[in-house]
Amino acid sequence: MATTHSLSNSALLFALTIGFSATTFFGGSKANTEVSVSVHSKVGARPCELVQRGLLVIAKQYAWVQIEGQKSETYSPELGPSDYLSASAPISGGVAKDVHKSGFELRAEPQTLADLPKVRALQGDAPCTNLQDAITEVEQAREHRRTELQGKLYTAGANDVVPAIALKETIETPKPDQSATPNTSSHGKSAKPRETFRGTVGLLVLIDIEGKAKQSKVVRSLNPELDKKAAEEVARWKFAPARRKGLPVPSVIPIDITFDLH
């Protein structure tokens, strides 16, 4: 039977321990690599493609494309199975490897494509839709794929998912109350020493695509009061969300909160 310890104790100390499986905080620094590319997207069932100008950005852990005219980044899972990138400038082997690892297909283009964006036929003089309709169709298809992917719940290590990470600067370890002093009786006798207790609450925490802890489930309990305190503490943290080849996705991660009570 678990012993109940009151959180009203003025000398409460508690430590925070993050129990992420096979993961660490983001660390170090690496400048992003940028490559000018053309983004080729199949337009519906027609033998036509939409070609847009873009900038491929390769960061430390993933890559994305900033398509001209669009505010948000585009990640490889949002592209269709026939979509690819092309570049006219030479690409180093290291960059090509990083691009492939991020899920993009990058092809060499003999010459720089001009007058982008544009719609072009893939077979002879096949009739193609106009530019604006093609852009709308392609963007809606990407949004549909993004919504579908972000509507699922992921676990670290599955489906090329990089786990969510708690950001160091949001984790604050509460300090003991410095005003706490030993209790003494009116007869000058020392009070009974405070009981020392150490224990860990294990949580499974749901992290959304914005890096917010939305829900916690206790998987290793101490007592209702400490379990609640642990969940409240994690709810204040900010996370880098899990990513599937760069695309932010909701995920569940394990976190341990260790309490020291004196």
Q: What confidence tens digit (pLDDT) does each residue in 59-118 have?
A: 988 999 999 999 999 999 999 999 999 998 888 999 999 999 999 999 998 877 889 999
Question: Residue 197: inside a domain, yes or no?
Answer: yes
**Do 134 and 161 fall within a single domain?**
no
pTM of the model: 0.78
Q: How far apart are CA 227 and CA 206, in angstroms?
A: 16
Residues 130 and 164 in one domain: no
The domain tally of the chain equals 2
Dihedral angle computed from the Cα positions of residues 85, 90, 91 and 93, in that order, rounded to the nearest 10 degrees: 140
What is the span of the domain harbouring residue 39? 33-152
- Do 124 and 191 reside in the same domain of the chain? no
pLDDT (tens place) for every residue of the chain, 262 residues total: 344 444 443 234 445 544 443 333 333 446 899 999 999 999 988 899 999 999 999 998 899 999 999 999 999 999 999 999 999 888 899 999 999 999 999 999 887 788 999 999 988 888 899 999 999 999 999 999 999 999 999 987 777 899 999 997 667 654 444 333 334 344 555 555 556 678 999 999 999 999 999 999 999 999 999 999 999 999 999 999 999 999 999 999 999 999 887 6
Are residues 60 and 114 part of one domain? yes
Residues 38 and 142 in one domain: yes
Residue where a domain terminates, one of 113, 132, 152: 152
Indicate whether 7 belongs to any domain.
no
How would you classify the pairing of strands 161-162 and 197-207?
unpaired
Where a domain ends, among 114, 134, 152? 152
Length of the chain: 262
Q: Do β-strands 48-58 and 33-42 pair in parallel, antiparallel, or remain unpaired?
A: antiparallel
Both 134 and 65 in a single domain? yes
In a domain, 3, yes or no: no
